[in-house]
Amino acid sequence: MPRIYIDNVPFEVKAGRNLLEACLSLGIDLPYFCWHPAMGSIGACRQCAVKVFKDAEDTKGRIMMSCMESVKDDLRISVCDPGAKAFRAQVIEWLMTNHPHDCPVCDEGGSCHLQDVTVMTGHDYRRYQFKKRTYTNQYLGPLINHEMNRCIQCYRCVRFYRDYAGGKDLNVFSAHNHVYFGREKDGVLQSPFSGNLAEVCPTGVFTDKTLKEHYTRKWDLTNAPAICQHCSLGCNVIAGERYGQLRSIVNRYNSEVNGYFLCDKGRFGYEFVNSENRITQTLIRHRTAEAVDEPTLMSHLPNILIGHTVIGIGSPRASIENNYALMELAGRECFYQGLPDNQVFLEQKIVDILSAGAIHTPSLKEIEQADAVLILGEDIWNTAPVMALAVRQSVMKTAAAHVQEQVPLPGWHDAALKELAQESKGFLANMSVLSSPLDEIAACQAHGAPDDMARLGFQIAHLLNNTLPAVDNASAALLQDAHLISQQLLLARHPVIIAGTSAGSEALIRAAYDIAASLQSSERQAALAFVLPECNSMGLAMTGASSFEKALAIVQQNPDVTAVILENDLYRNMPADLVDSFFSKCRQVVVLDTLHNRTTEKADVLIPVATFAEGDGTFINNEGRAQRSYQVFMSPDKVLKEAFKWLFEMKVIRSAISNGHDVHPDEMLAGLERAYPQFKGIAAVVPPHEFRIHGARIPRESQRYSGRTAMQANKAVSEPKPLQDDDSPLSFTMEGYRGMPPAPLIPYFWAPGWNSGQAVNKYQQETGGALKGGDPGIRLFRDTGAQPAWFQDIPDAFTPRQGKWFLLPQYQLFGSGELSIYTKGIAALSAAPRAILSTRDAATLNMATGAAHYTVR
């Protein structure tokens, strides 16, 4: 490890980093703008200047940009040198000459990187008395607001949007001090990662438009660490509440999972929590007064729960605590997944493969570090966008790594590496039903029916491992693709194979497994990632419960069934006639859910439950990582509590055994671990609920939280008692421990001098590294080193059948989500429901281009 001297104090620093990273990792406050830990350095903003000295005798030194200098042994630098300080102050003063007098009306204010750095350098009074430059703004869609006057020309937005995320429609225009960051003309930003601009931009040029609708400063939010609910990746988010409404979602750094970035569905898809469609009242239907209070419900429940067969229908979007509570209520053998047979079968296959442990399943970070990626039949652009972003990084980083082999450039030297790499890319093969923007960076792409893609996969596996059978009657194109892909995969040291359930094909999963297992060798670390549909699909699948069809069979045999349905709109996943017949056969239907839907209409007893924002819950992501999402706020409506609390009370009613205590999520997880060994270790996912630091809780609110004695004064002038949280070490107040909390309990990123999200540097072991104390989450699948069990059953090539249609779902980032569609902006950007068919099929049906309506039977 090189030793460098910063202001004459020796420090051991990590080799291969630049001086800025070294200083920030050591906890030294050094201002910067254009450098980003995920995007490297370009030396554009001149803000991170330090003095570098030749040797111990050199007193004069020279000013250098710390982000553009590698650490070297015995390097002497000074951060506090008056010359360097004056330089930094001057740079910020220049940047501020054109910055508008906007802070009071700017959404960035209070979490602004530019404010942080301006204060840090000591520039507090404006000396420049001349006119300010102005720009006209653009309309960038319903999610992102544009206010170009505030720009300081750091280039972070285009570097993120174009270089990092592969977007095309945002660029820099014009010249000299007129440069303009925007689109060629007004219009919706096309990239599904555009929301990150709000966090990447160090000032308020790009801000969150959904937050603007109910604007709240960062310091006024009640925050909690939460888990994104919109896909199976389990991105870590910080959710913020004010006045009883969820107001914003920002990224919560987790080096293993989402890193610094979220997709737009995750960032903006939170408004379902505030929806008018929320279930707020407990209902017992078929009565004169259907809305009932809790005691009435509790006195009614024994009638339907005791003396009848109770079956439970679980949910892939409910937490594992909720699903487990239902399993406990109904009994293991009477718990069903609420998913169709084929989906349960696919997910079970994935769980079997991952729990066998012969093949490693990668985190998103490991996918970023892969040097060859094969996507087999999964449209990750739409079903797991942040994984698509990780795949893009793998392609770019592999190209940079090839360059570095020839020219010894450090990895952070972004502009130089890009210049050398030019258009070269790492290997990506994208096989999916329809094309996606990932095709642009793919060396090899093919689109076809799932069975044909699976055949390609099996042929690749055969080429990698000749003990596996070859594909019969393979087309020339298939053989050629298989040859190319297998050759490239063999060259890689960390190949990643990605498959999933969205194509509905088990053969794809088997083929992906065969390829990954064939690649695994002593010098090659292969990994196999699966994408599932919902945020807790993996958790539900790991229970091993049976499908909805099995539940239907039970109901058809037994006329006396009370079905308890947990957070699951059955009509979304199953054919309506099946679900209708299920409901018609059930004697009583109890539904616990958050939003009204077709299933809740069928409920005899409807119980409102908490969303992720109002309750605690643990979700298991696609790699089997259990992560806790904490309650953000408590609704003034007391009936709203987590489903597992309701289900626990129902269990008490059924078993008539109670110790009179409420149940904590910790106890649920401990019980789950005892009852189901496949969840071993999950109870340690977060510190226990009685965890305290020096006797204090961790506050959800900042020190600057305002309005405590006035917020509810219109209702009653005496302030209510602060809400209590018996389920977690977090408090609903501003009092508590102000130091560094354990990583799973970080409610928001803040450090003295760093009000913006850049404070995350202080929470990391090193910039861009793991959080202090290790990233949150526990992986439930362990690599066992077991011998792989090969699959050999190759499907036949897809052949169209006369008069029959082969239907496949096409997932849309905006539109397919059950919950995200409640965000107005996302709904506006969602395409209308549609069916796509090939031009050949359209011609045989005599369909004209542009024709809008066809009746489908």
Partner 1 sequence: MVSLSASLSQKRNYPISEEKVALRPRWRGRIVLTKDPDGGERCVGCYLCAAACPVDCIALQATEDENGRRYPEFFRINFSRCIFCGYCEEACPTYAIQLTPDFEMAEYRRQDLVYEKEDLLIDSQGKYPGYNFYKMAGLSAGVKEKGKGENEEAPVDIKSLLP
Q: Which of residues 162 and 365 has its CB atom nearest to partner 1 in the complex?
A: 162
CA 706 → CA 360, 710, 746, 747, distances in Å? Answer: 48, 9, 20, 17
Among 105, 789, 837, 847, binds partner 1 (CB under 8 A): 105
220 sits near partner 1 (criterion: CB under 8 A):
yes
72 sits near partner 1 (criterion: CB under 8 A):
no
Q: Which of residues 123 and 146 has its CB atom nearest to partner 1 in the complex?
A: 146
Among 5, 11, 87, 219, binds partner 1 (CB under 8 A): 219
Angstrom distance (rounded) from CA 694 to CA 738: 11
Which stretches of 199-331 are assigned E, i.e. beta strand? 206-208, 222-227, 236-242, 245-251, 282-284, 291-292, 309-313
466 sits near partner 1 (criterion: CB under 8 A):
no
Q: Which of residues 187 and 707 has its CB atom nearest to partner 1 in the complex?
A: 707
Q: Which of residues 717 and 851 has its CB atom nearest to partner 1 in the complex?
A: 717
Candidate segments 207-215, 259-267, 607-615, 767-775, binder of partner 1 by CB under 8 A: 207-215
Q: Which of residues 62 and 212 has its CB atom nearest to partner 1 in the complex?
A: 212
The 10 Å Cβ neighbour count of residue 696 is: 14
Among 3, 54, 72, 212, binds partner 1 (CB under 8 A): 212
Dihedral of the alpha carbons of 665, 670, 672, 677, in degrees to the nearest 10: 150
CA 239 → CA 78, 84, 819, distances in Å? Answer: 39, 39, 16
Residues 578 and 602 sit within 8 Å (Cβ to Cβ): no
Candidate segments 98-106, 163-171, 642-650, 755-763, binder of partner 1 by CB under 8 A: 98-106
Nearest Cα neighbor of 619 from 499, 725, 776 is 776
Residue with tokens 């489908």: 856
Q: Which residues pair with 744 in a beta bridge?
A: none
- Angle separating helix axes 320-330 and 665-675, nearest 10 degrees: 60
- Amino acid identity of 771? L
716 sits near partner 1 (criterion: CB under 8 A):
yes
782 sits near partner 1 (criterion: CB under 8 A):
no
User: Minimum Å distance from CB 167 to partner 1?
Assistant: 19
737 sits near partner 1 (criterion: CB under 8 A):
no
Angstrom distance (rounded) from CA 574 to CA 825: 28
Among 55, 57, 82, 134, binds partner 1 (CB under 8 A): 134
26 sits near partner 1 (criterion: CB under 8 A):
no
Angstrom distance (rounded) from CA 314 to CA 646: 14
DSSP 638-677: TT-B-HHHHHHHHHHHHH----S----HHHHHHHHHHH-G
Candidate segments 153-161, 614-622, 709-717, 800-808, binder of partner 1 by CB under 8 A: 709-717
User: Minimum Å distance from CB 488 to partner 1?
Assistant: 43
Residue with tokens 């609708």: 213
Q: Which of residues 557 and 709 has its CB atom nearest to partner 1 in the complex?
A: 709
772 sits near partner 1 (criterion: CB under 8 A):
no
Residues 6+ apart with CB under 8 A from 816: 382
Candidate segments 9-17, 105-113, 278-286, 554-562, binder of partner 1 by CB under 8 A: 105-113
Binding mask 153-182 vs partner 1 (x if CB under 8 A, - otherwise)? --------------------xxxx-x-x--
713 sits near partner 1 (criterion: CB under 8 A):
yes
Tokens of 790: 């090969």
Among 25, 78, 149, 436, binds partner 1 (CB under 8 A): 149
Helix (H) or strand (E) holding 447: strand 444-447
Burial class (CB in 10 A: 0-12, 13-18, 19+), 524: middle
User: Minimum Å distance from CB 161 to partner 1?
Assistant: 18
User: Minimum Å distance from CB 178 to partner 1?
Assistant: 5
Candidate segments 127-135, 388-396, 484-492, 818-826, binder of partner 1 by CB under 8 A: 127-135
Among 8, 303, 706, 784, binds partner 1 (CB under 8 A): 706
Nearest Cα neighbor of 274 from 640, 746, 621, 590 is 640
705 sits near partner 1 (criterion: CB under 8 A):
yes
- Angle separating helix axes 476-491 and 450-464, nearest 10 degrees: 50
The 10 Å Cβ neighbour count of residue 3 is: 13
Q: Which of residues 76 and 150 has its CB atom nearest to partner 1 in the complex?
A: 150
User: Minimum Å distance from CB 724 to partner 1?
Assistant: 20
Q: Which of residues 134 and 406 has its CB atom nearest to partner 1 in the complex?
A: 134
Q: Which of residues 5 and 705 has its CB atom nearest to partner 1 in the complex?
A: 705
User: Minimum Å distance from CB 716 to partner 1?
Assistant: 7
Binding mask 398-437 vs partner 1 (x if CB under 8 A, - otherwise)? ----------------------------------------
Tell me the backbone φ, ψ of residue 795, rounded to 5 degrees: -70, 160
Residues 6+ apart with CB under 8 A from 422: none
602 sits near partner 1 (criterion: CB under 8 A):
no
Q: Which of residues 717-736 bind partner 1 (CB under 8 A)?
A: 717-718
Q: Which of residues 102 and 549 has its CB atom nearest to partner 1 in the complex?
A: 102
Q: b vs e for 209-234, b when ≥16 Cβ sit within 10 Å of the residue's Cβ? A: bbbeeeebbbbbbbbbbbbbbbbbbb
243 sits near partner 1 (criterion: CB under 8 A):
yes
Helix (H) or strand (E) holding 678: none
Strands 282-284 and 291-292: antiparallel
Binding residues for partner 1, rule: CB under 8 A, are 99-105, 109-110, 129-137, 147, 149-150, 173-176, 178, 180, 212, 214-217, 219-220, 243, 704-711, 713-714, 716-718
